[in-house]
């Protein structure tokens, strides 16, 4: 996938979630079809950390199935760093997470205005994915 399409109100929901759990990392699932985000599912950061996140995916996956949507991406925040995958992000993406998804949306709260970027990861390589906000 080379691009993701998301409505402004959904992106605002993600940013709000990230601000609400600050200074910890927020996390959740982006769902839809064909690269178009239709719904977000907030998740609890099991790590309860400002530098890592971990999602317990089972309830979210159950809700996705009930809603008839596909998991398209995972989102999380970087409260104190840039909107770019950390080494831990890349390592975890190469492990279990990659069985579910390979696109990651990162929200940086490092500056006054949040920065949001999307990335694909495979074989420990990172490639930016165009995030189109409509």
Catalytic residue among 20, 25, 112, 130: 25
> Does residue 128 have an active-site annotation?
no
Give the integer Cα–Cα distance in Å for 102 and 84.
14
Give the integer Cα–Cα distance in Å for 89 and 52.
8
Angle among Cα 113, 134, 67 to the nearest 5 degrees reads: 105
Question: Quick one: which of 133, 124, 129, 134 has its CA closest to 106?
Answer: 129
Give the integer Cα–Cα distance in Å for 39 and 12.
12
Q: Which residues are the active-site residues?
A: 25
């Amino acid at each position: 996938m080379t691009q993701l399409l998301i409505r402004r109100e959904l992106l605002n929901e993600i940013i709000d979630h990230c601000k609400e759990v600050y200074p910890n990392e927020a996390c959740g699932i982006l769902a839809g079809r064909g690269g178009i985000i239709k719904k977000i599912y907030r998740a609890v950061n099991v790590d309860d950390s400002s530098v890592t996140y971990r999602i317990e995916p089972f309830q979210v996956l159950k809700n996705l199935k009930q809603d008839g949507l596909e998991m398209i991406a995972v989102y999380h925040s970087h409260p104190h760093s840039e909107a770019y995958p950390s080494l831990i992000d890349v390592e975890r993406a190469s492990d279990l997470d990659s069985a579910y998804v390979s696109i990651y949306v990162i929200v940086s709260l490092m500056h006054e205005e949040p920065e949001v970027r999307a990335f694909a990861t495979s074989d420990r390589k990172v490639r930016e994915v165009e995030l189109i906000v409509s």
